[in-house]
Structure 1
Amino acid sequence: MAASNRWLMSSLAYYLDFFTAPLFAAVALCIAPVHVGQMLAGLLTWTLLEYAVHRFLFHARYRQEHWTHHVDVRAYIGVSSWKTSSAYAVLLLLAWLAGLTSAFAGVVMGYFYYISVHYVMHRPDHWAYRFITGLIANHELHHRKGIEKNFGVSSPLWDHVFRTYLNAQAPRANGEQA
């Protein structure tokens, strides 16, 4: 499958989410009372969204664009921060009107954790790399050609629920380690 340049972006558009996501979460927590249960529900919601988007959009509808990331894991590929920030601005307003700002903050903090973990897992020289070796092993297996498993980047939870988890350490049929 040929790689696509459609999702390539500037370094600014790539890194801006590392600033805007925490900012949106902080604003959400400042404009209304904090509800820990809502935040946890928002975080759990993010993990399901991450799994579903990765499995059903990136590996189906946008397969060619996403494959570019599989080919060059350090390229500035993804959804532009300008788009995510615009979506978060609208969602923050809706969450505020619905009394769900803490849930919104949980979703955005989950997204921030996801982009941070994903960034680190493709950079072995990063100081935090050694702390996420299990997630890295799952994700490296996911990047192997022909393996449509391990869609959860920041958590394998939904891979277990939907039976798409493949243990990176499990022996294969021929006795080799994965």
Structure 2
Amino acid sequence: MAASNKWLMSSVAYYLDFFTVPLFVVLALYLAPFDLALALAGLLAWTLVEYSAHRFLFHSLYRREHWTHHIDVLAYIGVSSWKTSSTFALLLLLAWFTGLTSAFIGAVAGYFVYISLHYVMHRPQHWAYAFIPGLVANHDLHHRKGIEKNFGVSSPLWDHVFRTYIRVEADAEPA
């Protein structure tokens, strides 16, 4: 499959979410009282969104664009922070008007965990890499050519639920 340059971005656009997402969380905390149960529900909802987007969008509708990441895992490839920030701004307004700011906080915090873990997974020299060996093994297996499994990056929960989880065999060679 040919790669696509459609999702290549500048380093600023790539790293911007690491700064804007915490600002959205702080703003949401300022707007309304925090409810832990709603935040956990938002976090759980995020994990399903992450799994679904990766499986049904990135591996079907946007397959060529996402394949570029599979080819060069260190390239600045992804959805632009301008798009995610615009989406989060609209969702925060909706959450505020509906009393669901804590659910928004959980979902956005889940997104932050996702982008952070995914960043670390492809950088073995990173100090946090040693703390996530199971997630790294799952994601490495996902990156092997022809394996359409292990779509959950920050959690294998939905891979287990939808039977798309496979584990690395003890004697398997790393990708």
Matching residue of 2:29: 29
Matching residue of 2:172: 177
Q: Structure 1 residue 55: deviation in Å?
A: 0.1
Residue 48 of structure 1 aligns with an amino acid whose one-letter code is L
Determine helix, strand or coil for the equivalent of 1:87.
Answer: helix
In 2, Cα distance between equivalents of 1:37 and 1:168: 34
Residue 74 of structure 1 aligns with an amino acid whose one-letter code is L
In 2, Cα distance between equivalents of 1:27 and 1:105: 9
Q: Structure 1 residue 84: deviation in Å?
A: 0.4
In 2, Cα distance between equivalents of 1:110 and 1:169: 29
In 2, Cα distance between equivalents of 1:168 and 1:96: 43
Matching residue of 1:124: 124
1:22-60, Cα deviation, whole Å (9 max, x unpaired) = 110111112101100000000000000000000000000
Residue 14 of structure 2 aligns with an amino acid whose one-letter code is Y
Give runs of ≥4 in structure 1 deviating > 4 Å: none
Matching residue of 1:86: 86
In 2, Cα distance between equivalents of 1:117 and 1:129: 9
In 2, Cα distance between equivalents of 1:68 and 1:95: 34
1:68-89, Cα deviation, whole Å (9 max, x unpaired) = 0000000000000011001111
| Percentage identity across paired residues of the two chains | 74
Cα RMSD for the two superposed structures:
0.9
Matching residue of 1:13: 13
Determine helix, strand or coil for the equivalent of 1:89.
Answer: helix
In 1, Cα distance between equivalents of 2:23 and 2:168: 35
Segments of structure 1 that go 5 or more residues without pairing to the other structure are 171-175
Residue 37 of structure 1 aligns with an amino acid whose one-letter code is A
Determine helix, strand or coil for the equivalent of 1:8.
Answer: coil
2:133 equivalent to 1:152: no
Residue 139 of structure 1 aligns with an amino acid whose one-letter code is H
Paired residues, number: 173
| Length-normalised TM-score, structure 2 | 0.97
In 1, Cα distance between equivalents of 2:166 and 2:21: 30
Residue 161 of structure 1 aligns with an amino acid whose one-letter code is V
Residue 9 of structure 2 aligns with an amino acid whose one-letter code is M
